[in-house]
Structure 1
Amino acid sequence: MDAEQSLEIDPNPIDPAAVAPAPIDVAELAHLLDGPYAAVRDQIRAHLPDHAELLEPQCRLDPDDYRRRVRQAVLDLAAAGDSVFGLPTAYGGGGDLGASIAAFETLAFGDLSVLVKTGVQFGLFGGAILQLGSTAHHDRFLADVVSGRLLGCFAMTERGHGSDVQSLRTTARYDADSGQFVINTPTDSAHKEFIGGAAVDARLAVVFAQLEVDGTAQGVHAFLVPLRDEHGRVLSGIRVEDDGHKIGLNGVDNGRIWFDSVSVPRAALLDRYGKVSEAGSYSSPIDNPDRRFFTMLGTLVQGRVSVAGAGVSSAKIALAIAIRYADRRRQFAPRGTTAETKLLDYGMHQRRLLPRLARTYALHCAQQALVAEYHDVFTRPDSADDHRRRALESRAAATKALSTWSAVDIIQACREACGGAGYLAENRFAALRADTDVFTTFEGDNHVLLQLVAKGLLTNYSSGFNDLDQLGLVRFVAGQAVETVIERTAVHSLVEQIKDVLPGSDREWDRQAGIRDRNYQLAMFRWREEHRIAGVARRLKRGVDDGMSPEDVFNRCQSHAINAAWAHGERLLLEAFADTVAAMPDGDNKITMALLCDLFALSTIETDRGWWMEHGRLSAPRAKAITREIDALLGRLRAVAVPLVDAFAVPPTALAEGLDNLAS
C-alpha cells in the first residue's frame, strides 16, 4: 500500500456488529419534520380525506366535472380555514405566513389540481392584492377573496414573454380626461397565457402591464381588471380562450386573455409602489424604475417558496409508495430456498431508492430553513434590509429549482422501482408525474432561476444588484478582480474557516479527513461552489478583456453560471441537513438522521466525482472508498427505510390504492 492509499482509509470504519441502526421513534421524527406548524399540518391531514375521490385516476373523470369538483374543494378548504393562513386576520385569514406555507406543503399530499388552484386564489391573486395594493384595496377585496366569494387569477405571463416579466407588452395607459386606465393587448403575442382560473372561474384578474402616464413609460405595474360579471359572463372588451387539455393539472382551468382597450378606474392600480394622481402625475417611493420593479416582484416570492415545498411533498408520496412496496414485494428465491427475496433487500434497489430518500430529507431541511427566513423577513420587515431580501429571493430560487427537478427525478425512479404495478394509473404515479412536471417551469423556469442565483453569487447583492441585467452583470464582474468577487461571497469565508479545523496543508486537508467527517463533507461542497463561482468570474472577465461583446460573453458562460448556482443550492441542502441533525437531542433518531445526512453528502460527491477528480480534490482511491461507504450506509439504512418514510406522515388516503395493491 503506497502513502496516498494509506490516507484513504476511513479512520471511523463501520462496526460490523452494528449493521443496522436501532429502531427509530417514528412519531418523534414525524413531529420533528412537521416543525413549528405541526398543528396546522395535522389540521390539513384531517381534512384531506374529504376530497379523496379526486385522487381517482384522472382518465376516469369527466374534464368539466373534474374542474367543478376541484373548484368546490377549494371553496371547502377556504370555509374550513385550511387555505387562508397567510392572509390577514382582519379579513378572515390566519395572519401567519409560515403557517400558510406549511398548509400548502401538506395540501400537496392530496390532489395537485386542488393545490394549484388554491395557490392561485389565495397565494398569487390574494397575495398580490395584499402585497402590492393599499389599505383601500385590502378593505374592498380581501374578505371576499378569503371566503371564496370572489375568485380571481394572476395574469402575468404572456405568450411572447414568460420569464422576462420586465418586457411584457400588455399596456395600461392613463387617460386623465376620464380618470381611467385603458388596458390593451397590442399584439397577439402579448395575450396572457396559461393563466390559472382564467378559462372558467375567475371574475377578477391581477393584470401586469406596462404603465404609461402622459406619454411616459413607468414600467410594469399591477392592475385589477374585471373579467366576468357575477353570473360568469365574460365582460365587453375581454376575450378568453380555454387552454384545453394539458399534460397534467387538468382540474385547473388555465386560459388565455386578450384585452381590447378595456377601461378600469384609477383605483384599479395596485399602488403600493407607484401612484397616479387624478390629474395624471406619477409618483413612487422608489425612484429607480429597475429597483422598483425588482422590489415589486420580490414581495411575490411566496409562490416560489410554496412550489418548492410542493415538490418535496410530491417526492415524499412517491418514496412512501415505492419503499413500502419494496419492503413487501418479493421476487426470486435464493438457490436452495423457497422464500423469495424482498425487493428492498437487493443492493441495486437500495441504490435506486435510498440516496433519493436521503436527498428528500435534505430538501425538507432546506425548505424548512427557507420558510423560517421567509416568515421572518415578511413579518418583521424592519429587520430585513435590501441585502437580506435579495438573499431570500436567491435562496428561494435555488431551493425551488433543486426541489422541483429532484421531484421529477424521484417520482420517475420510484415509478420504475415499482415495475408494471407503478405504471397503473390507480397507483398515483401517472398523476404525480404529470402534475409535478410543470413545477420545473412555473413560478420561474428553473434554468432562468439558477441564472438569477448565479447573478447574486457574482455580485453578492451589491448596491447595484437590482439594476443589473445580464449585460450589466458581465460589465460589473469584468470590472472587479476575480479575488474580489470570491472574497465578497459568503462561501469564501466558510471555506477558510473550515480549513482551520481539518488536518494537513491546503492540498492535503481533503485527503486526510475521514469520509464521514461532516467538516470534510461541508468543505467539499463549499470548495466546489467557490471554485465554480471563480470560474464564471474568470470567464466573464477574460471574454471582455479579449474584446468580445457582453452578449457573447454571457452566452458562453451560461452553463457555467448554472453549474455554480447548482453547487450553491446543494451546499445549502447539506448545511440545512447538518444543522437539523446537530440540533436534535441525542438518541437513535439522531444517529439515523446522521447516517442519512452522510448518505446524502457522499452520494452527491459520488455523482459529481468526475468534477472533483478533474480539479484535484478527490483521488481515485478515495472515490472508491466513498462508493464502498455508500454501499455500507445503504445496508445500515435499509432496516429503517420504511419508518423513515412513515415519518413523512403521508395520510393513507393520499397514498390511495398505491400501497394496498402494489404488493403481492
Structure 2
Amino acid sequence: MADRDVLDVPALTATLDGKYAEVRALVRSNLAAHAGILEDQRTLPRDEFRERVLEVVQEMAATGQTGFGFPAEYGGGGDVGASVAAFETLALGDLSVVVKVGVQFGLFGGAILQLGTRPHHEAYLDDLIHGRLLGCFAMTESGHGSNVQALGTTATYDAGTGEFVLDTPDDRARKDYIGNAARHASHAVVFAQLVVGEESHGVHAFVVRIRDDRGEPAPGVRIEDCGPKIGLNGVDNGRLWFDSVRVARTDLLDRYAAVTEDGRYTSGIENANRRFFTMLGTLVQGRVCVGGAAVNASKVALAIAVEYAQRRRQFGNPGSGTEEVLLDYGMHQRRLFPLLARTYALHFAQERVAADLHAAFSDIEEEGAAELARRALESRAAGTKALGTWHASRTIQECREACGGAGYLSVNRFDALRADTDVFTTFEGDNTILMQLVAKGLLTDYKDSFEDLDQIGLVRFVASTAVETVLERTNARSVLERLRDVVPVGGRTAEEVPDLLDSRYQLELLTWREEHLLASLARRLKSGIDAGTDPAEVFSRCQDHVIGAAHAHVERIVLEAFLDKLATVEAGPNRDALKLLCDLSALSGVEADRGWFLEHGRLSGARAKAVTAQVNELGRRLRPLAQQLVDAFGIPREMLRTELLEFSGS
C-alpha cells in the first residue's frame, strides 16, 4: 500500500459507526460537552464525584441518548440497536458514567420493561427514562453471584393482606455490589425466591421501594455502602437487607408468572428451569452492552498509545544524530498492532451481536424459530462479552506499558481505564461461567434441553445423546483433512502451499480447531460417564477443555464477522487497510496458539515460523496507517487531552 497510504478517515469512521452514526455523533457531542468529568474523576473526593456522575447522567438523559431502547409512548426511542450503540460510544469517556447509565437504564429500567407488564410500564418508565426516578438492580448476593437460581432472599405471599413479604435470612443472602444502592436509588428490582403457601416457585423479580421521599431507608430496609473499590468510585455500590419488607402483590414483575389475590401461582411457562432462563434471557442486553463498552475503552487506550508512539523518540542509529520514534521499532509494532487489529475485529463482532439483539426484540418469526434465535443470541452475547472484556484488560495494560512511566500518571487516563474496566470481566456474568454457557450451547446444539441442563445434566446428556450429533456435525463440514499444509485448499493443486493471507484458509483453520476441540470434549465427557465416574467430577475434570472449545468457537465467529463486514466495503485503500487488520487479527491468534496447531498436525514447524514472519510483515505494512486507523475511532479530542500527548513532541 506504499502508493496508497492515505485513508479516507471519515469514511472509515462511517464504516465503524454503521447504521447508528447519528446516535454515536450525539453521544460524542455529549462527551465533549462534559469532558471535565475526566478531571473530576482524578480530583474530587469520592462523595462529590458520585454526585457529579449523577448530574452528568441526568443531563445526558435530558438529551434522549439514554432512552433509545424504551418504547416511544413512554418517552423513549423504540430502538434497541440505537440504545446499544449509544452505550458503547459513551465508553469513550468516564466509565463511572457508563456504569451508572447501565444500572439505571439497562438493568433497572430494562428489568421493568422486559419482566413487567403495562401497569409497571405506566407506573415507572417515563420517570426512570428521564432520570427522575432512580433505581437499582438487586440480584447478586454475597453468597450467590453467578448461581442466581440459589439466591437466599425470599418473597413469601401473605394471602391475608395480598402482599409479598421480603426477607434476608442471613448475611450470605444480603444483596451485594448493587450499583446505585448506597446513595441514589429510591427503588430496586429485587430478585428473590417466590414462596406461595409452602411451595417455592424459584427466583422472580419485584419492584421494591428502598428509600422514602427524604432519602432515608424504607421501613425494614437496611442499606450499607460497599466502600472504596478498585475503580468506578463514581458509582455508589451498596448492600441491602430486608426484614419483613412488605410490597403489594402487583409489585411482582409478572410478564412470565403471577400470583392471584387468593394465592394461586400461574405461569404460561410450565417448566420451572425454562421459566427461570427465559426471565434471565430477556436481560441479555446488559451483556451485549458491557462487551461493546470494553471494546471502546480499548480504543481509547490504543488511540493514546499509538499517537504517543508516533511522537516519542528513543535511541536510534547513533550515526544519524536523530532518535527513532517508538512506532518505527518492530517490537513496538508487535505490542500494539495485533491489539489494534483485534479491536477492529471485536468491534465488528459486537456489531453483529447487537444487530441480532435488535432483531430478537422485534422478532415476528414463528415461535419455534424465534426461540432458536434467542438461544443462539444468548450464546453469542456471552462469548463476545467474555472475549471483549478480556481483550480490554490486556490491551489497556499493554498500552500503559508501551507509554512507559508517562502511562503510569493518572493524568494520562490509563489508571482509570485499567481500574474501571477490571470489573467488566466479572459483572453481567463472570467470563469463565459465560464461556461454559457457550460450550453448553455447542454441545446441545440449541436443542430443547439446552435451558434445562445443569452441569451434571449436561454431562449425562452428552454421554447419552450428544456425541453422535457433534461428530456428525463435525464430519459434515469435512475440514479434518482439507487443512493439511500440502492438500488442496480453495482450489489449489496438491503441490501448492496454502496462502497464509487467504481468508478462506484462515477461517478453515479456526473452524477445524473448533470442531476438533468440541468433538474431543464430547468423547471425553462420554468416556468419563462410561467409566462410572460421578458426573460432577467428570465435568470438573473437563472444565479446561470446555473453556477451550468455547474460546475456539468465539474466535471463529469473530473472524467470520470481520470477513462479512469486509464484503460490504468498496474496493480501495480503506478496504485494503481493513484486510490487513483482518489478516493480522487472524494470524496473530493462530500464532498465539501455534503450540496447539503443531501438536495436532495442522501446522508444520516451518509453517509456524512462516506465520510469525507474516505477523511481523503485516505490522510493517500497517505502520504508515496506524494513526489514521485510530483516528477513525472518532474519539472526541476532549477525551484525549492527556499530558502525555501534549508534551511528547515529534
For this structure pair, what is the TM-score category when the shorter chain's length is used for normalisation? over 0.9
* 2:301 paired residue among 311, 318, 321: 318
What is the Cα deviation at residue 632 of structure 1?
A: 1.1
Per-residue deviation, residues 598-641 of structure 1 (Å, max 9, x unmatched): 11111110010000000000000111111111111111100000
**What is the CA–CA distance in structure 1 between the aligned matches of 2:552 and 2:170, rounded to whole Å?**
40
Is the 8 Å Cα contact of residues 325 and 662 (structure 1) preserved in structure 2?
no
**What is the CA–CA distance in structure 2 between the aligned matches of 1:397 and 1:481, rounded to whole Å?**
22
Aligned letter for 1:65? E
Normalising by the residue count of structure 1, what TM-score does the alignment of the two structures yield? Answer: 0.95
Which deviates the most, 159-168 or 43-52? 43-52
Distance 1:546 1:430, change over 3 A: same
Is the 8 Å Cα contact of residues 411 and 432 (structure 1) preserved in structure 2?
yes
Per-residue deviation, residues 280-308 of structure 1 (Å, max 9, x unmatched): 00100100000000000000000000000
* 1:434 paired residue among 419, 425, 431: 419
The equivalent of 2:555 in structure 1 is 570
Is the 8 Å Cα contact of residues 311 and 403 (structure 1) preserved in structure 2?
yes
Matched, 1:334 2:317: yes
What is the Cα deviation at residue 496 of structure 1?
A: 7.9
Aligned to 2:399, the other structure's residue is in SS state: helix
Pairs within 5 Å for 1:605-616: 605-616=590-601
Per-residue deviation, residues 292-339 of structure 1 (Å, max 9, x unmatched): 000000000000000000000000000000001101111113121112
Aligned letter for 1:523? E
Distance 1:621 1:282, change over 3 A: same
Per-residue deviation, residues 535-582 of structure 1 (Å, max 9, x unmatched): 211110010011100010000001110011111111111111111112
Is the 8 Å Cα contact of residues 422 and 662 (structure 1) preserved in structure 2?
no
What is the Cα deviation at residue 493 of structure 1?
A: 3.4
What is the Cα deviation at residue 503 of structure 1?
A: 5.1
Matched, 1:268 2:251: yes
Aligned to 2:213, the other structure's residue is in SS state: coil
Aligned to 2:315, the other structure's residue is in SS state: coil
Matched, 1:556 2:541: yes
Aligned to 1:246, the other structure's residue is in SS state: coil
Distance 1:232 1:547, change over 3 A: same
Is the 8 Å Cα contact of residues 192 and 203 (structure 2) preserved in structure 1?
yes
* 2:444 paired residue among 444, 459, 469: 459
What is the Cα deviation at residue 513 of structure 1?
A: 1.5
Matched, 1:468 2:448: no
The equivalent of 1:10 in structure 2 is none
Distance 1:144 1:290, change over 3 A: same
**What is the CA–CA distance in structure 2 between the aligned matches of 1:651 and 1:233, rounded to whole Å?**
40
What is the Cα deviation at residue 663 of structure 1?
A: 1.5
Matched, 1:353 2:355: no
Aligned to 1:229, the other structure's residue is in SS state: coil
Matched, 1:33 2:27: no
Aligned to 1:639, the other structure's residue is in SS state: helix
The equivalent of 1:14 in structure 2 is none
Matched, 1:652 2:642: no
What is the Cα deviation at residue 49 of structure 1?
A: 2.0
* 2:514 paired residue among 519, 522, 529: 529
- Bigger relative contact order (CA 8 A; separation at least 6): 1
**What is the CA–CA distance in structure 2 between the aligned matches of 1:202 and 1:237, rounded to whole Å?**
16
Pairs within 5 Å for 1:35-434: 35-56=18-39, 58-382=41-365, 384-434=369-419
Aligned to 1:241, the other structure's residue is in SS state: strand
Aligned letter for 1:524? L
Is the 8 Å Cα contact of residues 460 and 488 (structure 1) preserved in structure 2?
no
**What is the CA–CA distance in structure 2 between the aligned matches of 1:89 and 1:498, rounded to whole Å?**
53
**What is the CA–CA distance in structure 1 between the aligned matches of 2:429 and 2:551, rounded to whole Å?**
16
Is the 8 Å Cα contact of residues 203 and 232 (structure 1) preserved in structure 2?
yes
Give 5+ residue unaligned stretches, structure 1.
1-17
Per-residue deviation, residues 343-369 of structure 1 (Å, max 9, x unmatched): 000000000000000000000010000
Distance 1:583 1:277, change over 3 A: same
Distance 1:492 1:147, change over 3 A: farther
The equivalent of 1:15 in structure 2 is none
Distance 1:559 1:641, change over 3 A: same
Is the 8 Å Cα contact of residues 181 and 240 (structure 2) preserved in structure 1?
yes
What is the Cα deviation at residue 505 of structure 1?
A: 8.6
The equivalent of 2:432 in structure 1 is 447
Normalising by the residue count of structure 2, what TM-score does the alignment of the two structures yield? Answer: 0.97
What is the Cα deviation at residue 511 of structure 1?
A: 7.9
Is the 8 Å Cα contact of residues 92 and 143 (structure 1) preserved in structure 2?
yes
Is the 8 Å Cα contact of residues 483 and 602 (structure 2) preserved in structure 1?
no
What is the Cα deviation at residue 31 of structure 1?
A: 0.4
Which deviates the most, 649-658 or 323-332? 649-658
**What is the CA–CA distance in structure 2 between the aligned matches of 1:465 and 1:316, rounded to whole Å?**
36
Aligned to 1:482, the other structure's residue is in SS state: helix
**What is the CA–CA distance in structure 2 between the aligned matches of 1:540 and 1:307, rounded to whole Å?**
32
Matched, 1:593 2:575: no
Distance 1:480 1:651, change over 3 A: same
Distance 1:279 1:106, change over 3 A: same
Is the 8 Å Cα contact of residues 57 and 425 (structure 1) preserved in structure 2?
no
Aligned to 2:34, the other structure's residue is in SS state: helix
**What is the CA–CA distance in structure 2 between the aligned matches of 1:628 and 1:238, rounded to whole Å?**
62
Aligned to 2:35, the other structure's residue is in SS state: helix
The equivalent of 2:607 in structure 1 is 622
The equivalent of 1:637 in structure 2 is 622
**What is the CA–CA distance in structure 2 between the aligned matches of 1:527 and 1:157, rounded to whole Å?**
38
Which deviates the most, 173-182 or 329-338? 329-338
The equivalent of 2:471 in structure 1 is 486
Aligned to 1:640, the other structure's residue is in SS state: helix
**What is the CA–CA distance in structure 1 between the aligned matches of 2:623 and 2:478, rounded to whole Å?**
34
**What is the CA–CA distance in structure 2 between the aligned matches of 1:508 and 1:325, rounded to whole Å?**
47
Is the 8 Å Cα contact of residues 157 and 165 (structure 1) preserved in structure 2?
yes
Tell me the number of residue pairs that the alignment of Structure 1 and Structure 2 aligns: 646
Give 5+ residue unaligned stretches, structure 2.
none
**What is the CA–CA distance in structure 2 between the aligned matches of 1:494 and 1:61, rounded to whole Å?**
60
Is the 8 Å Cα contact of residues 10 and 632 (structure 2) preserved in structure 1?
yes
What is the Cα deviation at residue 481 of structure 1?
A: 5.9
**What is the CA–CA distance in structure 2 between the aligned matches of 1:528 and 1:509, rounded to whole Å?**
22
Per-residue deviation, residues 378-399 of structure 1 (Å, max 9, x unmatched): 1125455221111000000000
Distance 1:481 1:153, change over 3 A: closer
Distance 1:120 1:75, change over 3 A: same
Is the 8 Å Cα contact of residues 477 and 485 (structure 1) preserved in structure 2?
no
Aligned to 2:313, the other structure's residue is in SS state: coil
Is the 8 Å Cα contact of residues 220 and 293 (structure 1) preserved in structure 2?
yes
Task: Give the RMSD, CA atoms, in angstroms.
Answer: 2.0
Share of identical aligned residues, percent?
A: 59
Matched, 1:661 2:646: yes
